[in-house]
Chain A
Amino acid sequence: MKRLIIISTVILMAFAMSAAYANQSNTGCGLGSVIFKGKNGLVSQVLAVTTNATFGNITFGITSGTSNCQQFSGIVSNERINTFVAHNLDNLAIDIARGSGEYLNTFAVLMDVRETERASFYSKLQGNFSRIFTSQEITYDQVLRNIETVLSSS
């Protein structure tokens, strides 16, 4: 019985599935770049970067995820913010446009925005969406620079 199960499972899996192990190519540091195309579909860039990271060698999971991208260094910069924004740019863009959401909250946490100031922080970013995301080709370091500009002009 065990053999029967195994053999038929193998047949089935071979039959019904094609594994999504893709050829990897980095498509940039802007919108849509967390996802990248391979021969058999799409794979998350983040996942391709690390499989065996451990607590020991991580800022929070990723060491080399932004290595192909320009790092932004300004007031709002540190490794964690850079990494988080690079890996979650699309989700963050959505939350900024909506003026709420988990990615925006986390961004505020990383930026050390106090709880009492979050509402105005969110609405300021939302109100300036088009000044932050200025073009479809924008990269995440430019997004951070624009956020810094928006926040410093009050």
Chain B
Amino acid sequence: MKRYGLIALPVSFFICLFIIAPGRLAGETSPVYAEALINRAMELRLHEDRRWLTLVHYKKTLRGTRSLIDDPKFFLSPSGKTNPRAELESTIRAIVSPPREGEKHAVCRFIARYRWLKDALPIDDNLLPVKGCTEIEDSIDRMRPESASLVFPASHINSPASMFGHTFLMIETGNRSKLLAHAVNYSASAKDTFGPLFYIKSIFGLYPGYFGILPYYAKIQEYNDFDQRDIWEYRINFTPEEVRRMIYHIYELENVYSDYFFFDENCSYNLLFLLDAARPDLQLSEEFYSPWFTWVIPLDTIRSIQKAGIIGPIDFRPSRVSTIRHLEEILSEPGKDLAIEIIRGKKGPDALLQSPLPEHEKVRVCDMITEYVRYEYSRDNMEKKDYSEFLINALAVRSRLKTSGEADYRVPAPANPESGHLSARIALGAGARGNSPFQELRVRPAYHTIMDNDEGYVEGGHIVFTDIVARFYDREKLFQIEKIDAIDIVSLTPGDRFIQSPSWKVRTGLRRRHFVEEKYPLLSFLNTGGGYAWKLPVLDLAYIMGDAELQAGGRLEHNITAGAGVSAGTLTKITRSWKAHLNAKSYYYPFGEKQHETTASLSQRFRTGANSCIMIDIGHTTAASKNYGERRSVNEFLLYLNIYM
């Protein structure tokens, strides 16, 4: 009874409890003990405690406090979703209540809540009909969780959704093999097989999101081997106790859904609750929460976690494509030639054994052809029969190249993704269009263009959400929106002897039309293109694409114009901080208002810091609009300073 004294129960309760205590085993004291605990909880104001708010995912919304969990079975009180206090009372009652046949008891069902209350109140297990959840405790003991890492599959430039990124957790256990670690992943549970429908629904929160657990090797297959995305592992310096607390909470979330929102309540955001459950002081889910529309960029959550100072060692796991590209760099020319001959089937893998190449070079060639067929097979470019025949022959050769132990090469890790520039960009600039000087303000919430500093980003990748450009023309005293790129994506993937991948772009938004009228009407447009890119000496990278464009707006003849053309350019890194993009394009618009437009431009970027740079753009445009009428041209010059934040 000593513990009751400690928690200073009101005297009346003390007596009550004392008198009825002998009947406890018959289950009659439970309600009394529950009321005592509830009173104590209210005294301590535990329903306002951040641990409680974290465990039930409560947030202050525009309509009062609400839990972000949408599954009714996550709440014990009918008003639990919106009432932290009622939910806490119901939780305490459920913990103290006797077990019921065929129903999971609250100490197991809500083990994290129970474990927290046990310490916070505290609860005396001896007075509980169900004394803790041995089932879960035992299974965690067998699992031996030791550490947790946040895993970030870096973006793959040929897939726009991947550029937004993804994060999941990896829990390593006592067996010390990462492959066998548990990957804890939050994702939308979607049965729709029709792509566009999937995106619409996931943006508007029409799918339930669930936590799922897979062996980590399955996630490696998914990201490294299929999606060709490098994987970054950020060890979080949680103690084993903290990891255990996190696992308690994962158990609570088993089969519990929250509506999945692609932009804010997404994979990365929901993981933050797990981290907060492990260490309540972090309050990471609070940092990223806004009752208004917002977006949670997975990479930004990593930055926050880094800022919180809880990141330990960082590991890099290259994708198959990264491995192939690296082998390409270190292979000798004769080695590459032999690899190509074997890949094309002109020679069998045994040709390696007779080749005059040095032994370590043979190893590299053999690894190259192995990685290559696996890449081809994963892209559905090879029959299973041909693949397994090639693989087993190549590996038989490999096993005879006696270089036991580790390989003599290692794919170098590029700059860490979180070390790259921040996601949002603001720019101030000045320039002139023809003879009209102007000042310019640009705001872009996300994410990265080919002209921004590349470090930490995939080179040749470009993804922009809502780049808004406003200008003030001095002479005309005209302040106006110059353009809005709602979505702008470019993927320049240089092809080479081993990997050929198309380059493409999509851009849509609003843009001013110049030349025709003084008022420059705002038009909406959709532009897309596909083509090819190469690596070149000196120029670095060159591309050529076939483009199509549609413009619509009231000031156009027939309200619309549509056409096609060609664009080409070079993208050159002159020094680490100086980059130049030379571009030319020419479009004919035979549909709707007939016009023709040709543009040449040179953009240059000078890096001035990790989160700032100066850009200088010059351009020349010639256009003949209104049924290929009068040809006019204009030059534009613009200098601006970019700040990333």
Whether a CB of chain A sits under 8 angstroms from the CB of B90 is no
Contact of A15 among B222, B403, B528 (CB under 8 A): B528
CB distance from B342 to the nearest CB of A (A): 15
Q: B489 on the interface (CB 8 Å rule)?
A: yes
Residues of A within 8 A of B136 (CB): 56
Q: How far is the CA of A56 from the CA of B133 in the complex (A)?
A: 13
A55 & B213 in contact (Cβ 8 Å cutoff): yes
The answer to the question of B634 belonging to the interface, with a C-beta cut-off of 8 Å to chain A, is no
Q: Which residues of A contact B367 (CB under 8 A)?
A: 98
In chain B, positions 85-141 with a C-beta closer than 8 Å to chain A are 136, 139-140
Stretch at the interface among B191-199, B303-311, B515-523: B191-199
Give the contacts of A27-59 with B (CB-CB under 8 A): 27, 30-35, 37, 41-44, 46-47, 50-56, 58
B578 at the interface (CB under 8 A from A): no
Tally chain B residues at the interface, Cβ within 8 Å.
80
Q: Is the CB of A99 within 8 A of B380?
A: no
Cβ of A73 within 8 Å of any chain B Cβ, yes or no, is no
Partner of B160, one of A16, A19, A30, A137: A16
B218 lies within 8 A of A47 (CB)? yes
Which residues of B sit under 8 angstroms from A140, Cβ to Cβ? Answer: none
When distances are taken between beta carbons in the complex, the residues of chain B under 8 Å from A19 are 192-195, 198
B177 to A, closest residue via Cβ: A106
Cβ A18 vs Cβ B195 within 8 A: yes
Within 8 A of B (CB), among A62-93: 62, 84, 87-88, 90, 93
**Known interface pairs A42-B226, A137-B388. Does A5 touch B395 (Cβ–Cβ under 8 Å)?**
no
User: Which B165-215 residues have C-beta < 8 A from chain A?
Assistant: 175-180, 182-183, 187, 189, 192-196, 198-200, 203-204, 210-215
- Chain B contacts for A146, CB-based, 8 A: none
Contacts known (A5-B466, A35-B378, A90-B391); A14 close to B199, Cβ less than 8 A: yes
Complex: how many Å from CA A137 to CA B392? 10
Q: Which residue on chain A has the smallest CB distance to residue B214?
A: A61
Q: Which residues of A contact B204 (CB under 8 A)?
A: 6
Q: Flag the segment in B6-14, B61-69, B249-257 that touches A.
A: B249-257
- Would you give the shortest CB distance from A8 to chain B, in whole angstroms? 4
Which of A13, A27, A53: most chain B Cβ within 10 A? A13
Contact stretch, chosen from B47-55, B404-412, B492-500, B620-628 = B404-412
* A31 contacts across to B, CB distance below 8 A: 387-388, 391-392
- Give chain A nearest CB distance to B476 CB in angstroms: 26
Q: A8 near B509 (CB under 8 angstroms)?
A: yes
Across the interface, do A53 and B506 meet the contact criterion of CB distance under 8 Å? no
Q: In the complex, what residue of chain A is closest to B179 when comparing beta carbons?
A: A106
Contacting residues of chain B (30-69) with chain A, CB-CB under 8 angstroms: none
Q: Decide if B221 is an interface residue (CB 8 Å cutoff).
A: yes
Q: How long is the Cα–Cα vector from A24 to B161 in the complex, in angstroms? A: 23
> Is the Cβ of B395 less than 8 Å from the Cβ of A129?
yes
Given A54-B254, A88-B217, A109-B175, A30 contacting B247 (CB threshold 8 A): no
Residues in A whose Cβ lies below 8 Å from that of B392: 31, 93, 133, 135-136, 138
Do A42 and B379 contact each other (CB < 8 Å), given the known contacts A10-B196, A109-B177? yes
Question: Which among B177, B198, B380, B466 is the interface contact of A41 at CB below 8 angstroms?
Answer: B380
Q: Which of B194, B387, B407 contacts A32 (CB 8 A)?
A: B387
Contacts between chains A and B (CB distance < 8 A), count: 212
Closest to A83 in B: B215
- Tell me whether B486 is interfacial, beta carbon within 8 Å: yes
Smallest Cβ distance from B520 to chain A, in angstroms?
20
B314 at interface by CB-CB < 8 Å: no
Contact residues in A for B250 (Cβ distance below 8 Å): 54-55
A59: min CB distance to chain B, Å = 9
CA A56 to CA B404, docked complex, whole Å: 40
State in angstroms the CA–CA spacing of A18 and B200 once bound together.
Answer: 13
B4 at the interface (CB under 8 A from A): no
B143 located at the interface, meaning its Cβ lies under 8 Å from any Cβ of chain A in the complex: yes
- Please give, as numbers and ranges, the residues of chain A lying within 8 Å of B630 by CB-CB distance: none
Residues of chain A contacted by B210 (CB below 8 angstroms): 51-52
Docked complex Cα distance between A55 and B181 (Å): 11
Which residues of chain A are within 8 angstroms of B254 by Cβ–Cβ distance?
Answer: 54, 56
In the assembled complex, A144 has its CB within 8 A of some CB on chain B = no
Determine whether B159 belongs to the interface, using a CB cutoff of 8 Å to chain A: yes
Return A104 CB to nearest CB of chain B, in Å. 11
Name the distance in Å between A78's Cβ and chain B's nearest Cβ: 13
Residues of B within 8 A of A55 (CB): 139-140, 143, 182, 213, 247, 250-251
Asked whether A87 and B217 contact (CB < 8 A) given A11-B508, A96-B399, the answer is: yes
Q: How far is the CA of A103 from the CA of B177 in the complex (A)?
A: 9
Q: How distant is A146 from chain B, measured CB to nearest CB, in Å?
A: 13
A142 at the interface (CB under 8 A from B): no
Are B399 and A127 closer than 8 Å at their CB atoms? yes
CA distance A35 to B389 in the complex (A): 16
Does B235 belong to the interface (CB within 8 Å)?
A: no
A117 within 8 A of B: no
Cα A10 to Cα B262 in complex, Å, equals 11
Which residues of A sit under 8 angstroms from B407, Cβ to Cβ?
A: 98, 100
Task: Check B161 against A13 for contact (C-beta < 8 Å).
Answer: yes
Q: Report 28 cross-chain contacts, Cβ distance below 8 Å, ordered by A residue.
A: A4-B466, A5-B486, A8-B508, A9-B465, A17-B161, A21-B193, A46-B215, A46-B218, A47-B214, A50-B214, A51-B187, A51-B210, A53-B214, A55-B247, A56-B136, A56-B139, A58-B213, A61-B183, A61-B218, A93-B391, A93-B392, A93-B395, A94-B395, A99-B404, A100-B404, A106-B177, A126-B404, A135-B392
B interface list, Cβ under 8 A from A = 136, 139-140, 143, 159-161, 175-180, 182-183, 187, 189, 192-196, 198-200, 203-204, 210-215, 217-218, 221-222, 225-226, 247, 250-251, 254-255, 293, 367, 370, 374, 377-380, 384-385, 387-389, 391-392, 395-396, 398-399, 403-407, 465-466, 484, 486-487, 489, 504, 506, 508-509, 526, 528
List 3 A-B pairs, minimum CB-CB distance, nearest first: A14-B196, A129-B399, A61-B215
Interface residues of A (CB under 8 A from B): 1-2, 4-6, 8-19, 21, 27, 30-35, 37, 41-44, 46-47, 50-56, 58, 60-62, 84, 87-88, 90, 93-94, 96-100, 102-103, 105-106, 109-110, 119, 122-123, 126-127, 129-130, 133, 135-138
Instruction: Taking A19-B195, A31-B388 as given, write out 5 further A-B residue pairs in contact, using a Cβ cutoff of 8 Å, ordered by the A residue number.
Output: A11-B508, A16-B160, A44-B222, A46-B218, A87-B217
